[in-house]
Amino acid sequence: MNSKLLPLSLLAALCLGSAHAQKTTSSGSTFSAAGKKAKVFATAANTELRLSAGEDLAFQPTGQPLETQVCVFVYPKNTFQTMLGIGGALTDASAETFAKLPKPQQQEFLKAYYSPTAGIGYTLARTTIHSSDFSSGSYTYVADKDAGLKTFSVKHDEQFRIPFIKQAMAAAGGKLTLYASPWSPPAWMKDSGTMLRGGKLLPQYRQAWADYYVKFIKAYEQLGIPIWGLTVQNEPMATQKWESCIFTGEEERDFIKGYLGPTLQKGGLGNKKLIAWDHNRDLLVQRASAVLDDPQAAKYVWGIGYHWYETWTGSAMLFDNVRRVHEAYPNKNLIFTEGCVENFKLDRVNDWALGERYGMSMIGDFNGGTVGWTDWNVLLDETGGPNHVGNFCFAPIIADTKAGKLIYTNAYYYIGHFSKFIRPGARRISASSNRDVLQTTAFRNPDGSLAVVVMNQTDKPLDFQLWIDGQAAKTTSAAHSIMTMVL
């Protein structure tokens, strides 16, 4: 990794505490910016700034702001959801691509994502239950028509994916919050007779399919990979050309309460976090209602997962739907389970819009009440794959496997403005801007430090004041930039 782009001093001056060692600051606790300085880290278009440290900001007493003064206001006393973590998916495609890299680039990659000091400190991960489109081909863990699952084995994953996950865990300090998602039951369990192109789970295999999740979790845990949670079905309303399976809201509800929930409990896995929906924000409110309005289903569900691909309809990202679910079901959790930029082209790896899509989504999702945010593939090759149906996409880091080098898109740095400075156990606090061109969110970390993220997607720089309870510091948001201020 270019040390010029990731200075060694990136966090040397910060003392961000462990989420496990310190208690989260409770609502109503005091915080004063008086006499303090904020450390500034910035990434900006048409510059060499990439998570780069800038000059500290000094706070001064400031009276009532005028409407002509551009401000980002932060109120640490107003606290909201607690951060679970930020990370990306450890897929077959990522694992296979990783295996093709020379050892030095493998170590560079692991450090870049999982080191909280030299990298961006990922703490959350997703993986697949057998194949997805981002595999080299379709496969399952059982023999054809084995409804008793006597042949169940994850041996396929031992070649690439399991060693890859173990190395990511080690690079993250030995612990990674990992959850798993299925794209389709085996073909013989479905009315369509194929894992691809949608279809539905046959009623006679509901119990066998529920047992399959338990087998997967136990197999991975026996191999030293703890599974924190699982989603019921990836994108249950999409008939895709790759592995896919349709569940209506009522069908997902009934599968949870009649089969999957009780089967997890019976298998001694009742502590695993079960996530419903796992599809786009467009139907988020409807699906949450279908599942969570039934107490017998809701009791098994930790939260609702969602993706950002509602934009395929021409819609903007529907952050209000995230907020509506949080308002309606405040005792359940929201987690972003997948997002990537589609239609990969190698000549677009320096496109600045890649990162801005991440920044906009993460700010909107966190402000809507989301507790965890998971990118899709952490690594893909120079084709945007491997993908066995040609659905090639971008990842924050692309491996040029022919040259044996890593290409960092600006999406990597944009995500890092959150994952590096907002740690597990952090509480979101009130942050707002008096100009729509400055998007912002803020968190208070377990050690008491504040991290305020500000993004500017316009072509013009904008001077503003970071205002905290009568104390303010002057700074500038560069054109097409994101900055994190820590104090």
Give the residue-averaged pLDDT of 402-417.
98
Cβ neighbors of 76 (< 8 A, separation 6 or more) are 29, 30, 31, 429, 430, 444, 450, 468, 469
Same domain, 189 and 306: yes
For residue 408, the SS3 value is strand
Among residues 402, 424, 446, the one where a domain terminates is 424
Task: Look up residue 414 and give its two tokens.
Answer: 């944009």
Q: Where residue 319 sits, what CATH number does that domain have?
A: 3.20.20.80
Residues 104, 126 within the same domain:
yes
Q: Do 57 and 143 have their domain in common?
A: no
Flag whether pLDDT at 18 surpasses 50: no
Residues 317-331 have a mean pLDDT of: 98
Give me the amino acid identity at 283: L
Statement to judge: residues 463 and 391 lie in one domain: no
Tell me: do 385 and 476 sit in the same domain. no
As a whole-number percent, the residues of the chain with pLDDT over 70 amount to: 94
Q: Is residue 13 domain-resident?
A: no
pLDDT in tens, 268-302: 999 999 999 999 999 999 999 999 999 999 999 99
> Is 28 part of any domain?
no
**Which domain CATH number covers 68?**
2.60.40.1180
More confident residue, 221 or 11: 221
Q: Which domain holds residue 207?
A: 85-424
Q: What would the pLDDT profile of 117-128 be if each residue is shown by its tens digit?
A: 999 999 999 999
Q: Are residues 187 and 285 in the same domain?
A: yes
29: pLDDT confidence band, cut at 50, 70 and 90? low
Q: Tokens 């503003």 sit at which residue?
A: 464
**94 phi/psi in degrees, rounded to 5:** -65, -40
The confidence score (pLDDT) of residue 5 equals 41
Catalytic hit among 108, 243, 252, 338: 338
Cα gap 417→11, rounded to integer Å: 12
The pLDDT, as a whole number, for residue 436 is: 97
Residue 75 belongs to some domain of the structure: yes
In a domain, 147, yes or no: yes
- How many domains, in total, are found in the chain? 2
Q: Are residues 280 and 165 in the same domain?
A: yes
> Residue 320 belongs to what H/E stretch?
helix 319-328
Looking at the fold, whether 354 and 457 belong to one and the same domain comes out as: no
Q: Is residue 350 part of a domain?
A: yes
Say if residue 443's pLDDT is above 90.
yes
- Per the CB < 8 A criterion, the answer to whether 4 and 407 are in contact is no
> Do 208 and 224 have their domain in common?
yes
Q: Which of 207, 213, 199 is nearest to 274 (CA)?
A: 213
Whether 5 maps to a domain, the answer reads no
Q: Do residue 199 and residue 290 come from a single domain?
A: yes
d(CA 329, CA 183): 26
User: Is the pLDDT at 2 greater than 50, yes or no?
Assistant: no
What's this model's pTM, rounded to 2 decimal places? Answer: 0.94
Report yes or no on 12 lying in a domain.
Answer: no
Examine the fold and report which residue of 406, 424, 442 is the final residue of a domain before the chain moves on.
424
140, 257: one domain: yes
The active-site residue, picked from 235, 243, 252, 310, is 235
At residue 50, what are phi and psi to the nearest 5 degrees? -140, 100
To the query of whether residue 96 is one of the catalytic residues in this protein, the response is: no
Among 409, 424, 439, residue at a domain's last position? 424
CB-based contacts of 320, cutoff 8 Å, min separation 6: 368
102 and 168 housed in the same domain: yes
Q: Is-catalytic flag, 67?
A: no
| Residue of 28 and 102 predicted with greater confidence | 102
Give the tens place of pLDDT for each residue, 251-269.
999 999 999 999 999 999 9
Q: In whole angstroms, what is the distance from residue 88 CA to residue 90 CA? A: 7
Cα gap 373→371, rounded to integer Å: 7
In order of 58, 77, 315, 328, 448, the CA distances from 32 in angstroms are: 13, 10, 41, 33, 11
23 pLDDT more than 50 = no
Place of tokens 């949670």: 229
- Residue 6 falls inside a structural domain: no
